[in-house]
Amino acid sequence: MKFDLHCHSHFSDGALTPTELIALAVERGVTHLALTDHDTLAGLPELRAASEQSAVQIINGVELSCEWRHQLLHVLGLNVDPDNDLLRAGIRRNTEQRFARAEAMYREFERQDINLRAEVAAQLPPDSVPTRPHFAQALVNLGVVKNKNKAFKKFLVRGKPGFVPMVWPDIAEVSEWIQAAGGVAVLAHPLRYKFTRSKLVRLIKDMLAVGIEGMEVSTGNTDTQQCEMLAILAQRHGLLASMGSDFHTPNQPWAALGTAAPLAQSLTPVWSRF
């Protein structure tokens, strides 16, 4: 069995369709796949349909943007019922926030005589959600910057002229939506936030208090030492352990589908709850 419980399709900031994701999962020997698009479930019907032509098992997932003590976090909802009303309403709220932010971003860029509407819209299939990487690609397409990395650095991060801050729901709220939908809530990429260890421990305690029961221990670009550190934390605090590549596109080899290292035997895998 090979699990990959974190990846993206073109319904958020991924490059591939859900159908292409299944083909890639087959090629990589992934047996259990969760599509976890940012703040949308729109890719799940196509993913399920495509999976039925293969041996890949699908776990319904989503990656929700949320806040903890004024900091942006990503929490995965795994094995959720996509028809649950509370989850759907919460996701709708986040999606609306994304569209409102996109409008504010267009206006910010127009003030700098850069019109991104057409370039962003052209990248968005029906029912997808706008993300900052779409804006980064639009800036590349228009020749404003050489690559997406530069687009983030120059325009799209806090303090830069195209950054529009958002107010996301609290971790307690997204945890409630996920639990209502029968899913397991999992902290995504715990090291991406660059917290000190003591701050990470504080987060874990707050997470557990609101019912976020898992943490990604193995992700595409965590090295062995980092995995071991996260494994110790997961074990010490009784967290379920998850693994996922956070795959977005085939041209990011550090986050290739199916490449997250296997979890240590001593951990309780999140799929023990599916």
Binding-site ranges for ligand AMP (CB under 6 A): 13, 38, 65, 131-133, 148-149, 152, 248
Sign of the torsion angle spanned by Cα atoms 40, 41, 46, 47: positive
Q: Cβ of residue 149: shortest distance to ligand AMP, in angstroms?
A: 5
Which member of 82, 246, 258, 263 binds Mn ion (CB under 5 A)? 246
Q: Cβ of residue 13: shortest distance to Mn ion, in angstroms?
A: 4
Of Mn ion, ligand AMP, none, which one sits near residue 65, judging by CB under 5 to 8 A according to partner kind?
Answer: ligand AMP
What's the angle, vertex CA 38, arms to CA 99 and CA 195, rounded to 5?
110
74 binds Mn ion (CB under 5 A): yes
Which member of 4, 13, 119, 213 binds Mn ion (CB under 5 A)? 13
The tokens for 174 are 């997204």
Q: Cβ of residue 195: shortest distance to ligand AMP, in angstroms?
A: 16
Strand partners, 66: 73
Residue nearest to Mn ion (CB): 74
Q: Are strands 3-4 and 57-68 parallel, antiparallel or unpaired?
A: unpaired
In order of 61, 81, 181, 215, the CA distances from 184 in angstroms are: 10, 11, 9, 10
HSE-CB at 7 with a 13 A cutoff on CA atoms is 37
Task: Compare residues 13 and 213 and give the one whose CB is closer to ligand AMP.
Answer: 13
Task: Compare residues 178 and 231 and give the one whose CB is closer to ligand AMP.
Answer: 178
Task: Compare residues 55 and 167 and give the one whose CB is closer to Mn ion.
Answer: 167
Contact 174, 78 (CB under 8 A): no
Which chain residues interact with Mn ion by CB under 5 A? 13, 63, 74, 188, 246
